[in-house]
Amino acid sequence: MTQDSKHLEVTLETQVESVNLAEEMCLRVAEAAGFGEDDCYRIGMSVREGVINAFHYGNEERPEKKIHLALDLTPEKMVIHVLDEGKGFDLRGVPDPLAQENLLSTSGRGIFLMRAFMDEFEVIPGRTGGAEIIMSKRLPPPGSAGRNGKSQNATPNKES
């Protein structure tokens, strides 16, 4: 961690309210860091999906387990870590929600949305034995239109 980097860490209960709390917290950091409205939306949604994943699939909604959320803000990007206390999972085993046979599935779109909305996304085995989602978004250059620019758009990044 360099002098210009900031680190924030919070432990969340395995409960529905943690999803909103995590989203709000990350949105505040993202806004303060200079992300525009579109990017804030994408970051907020990705954090929601990461914490929903930890709450539901990782910790299996068991209240004695915790969700560990960490943010690293560097001059280049915002990195978000969501760690659960479950059994971990392999990304290769996650069904493609865009496959015809999965379109009417009522779940299984969270990973897809995080991948679409963030610049980098990976899942690694966490120190708790659970899964750790690591995702990041590059900061817009100072003075660019994306720097706190306002529009209403959910379209993912081209490079995602």
Contact 80, 67 (CB under 8 A): no
Burial state string for 49-80 with b = 16 or more CB within 10 A and e = fewer than 16: bbbbbbbbbbbeeeeebbbbbbbbbbeebbbb
Show contacts with other proteins in window 27-56 (CB under 8 A): 41, 45, 48-49, 52
* Region binding other proteins by CB under 8 A among candidate stretches 75-83, 84-92, 100-108, 131-139: 100-108
Tokens 């990304």 belong to 91
Instruction: Give the integer Cα–Cα distance in Å for 69 and 102.
Output: 30
Q: Which of 3, 64, 75, 98 binds other proteins (CB under 8 A)?
A: 98
Tell me if 105 contacts other proteins by CB under 8 A.
yes
Tell me if 2 contacts other proteins by CB under 8 A.
no
Q: Which of 106, 142, 150, 159 binds other proteins (CB under 8 A)?
A: 106
Tell me if 155 contacts other proteins by CB under 8 A.
yes
Cβ closest to other proteins, residue 51 vs residue 73: 51
Instruction: Give the integer Cα–Cα distance in Å for 17 and 112.
Output: 23
Tell me if 94 contacts other proteins by CB under 8 A.
no
Task: State the burial class of residue 87 (Cβ atoms within 10 Å of its Cβ: 0-12, 13-18, 19+).
Answer: exposed
**Interface residues with other proteins (CB under 8 A)?**
16-17, 19-20, 41, 45, 48-49, 52, 97-98, 103-107, 109-110, 112-113, 116, 152-156
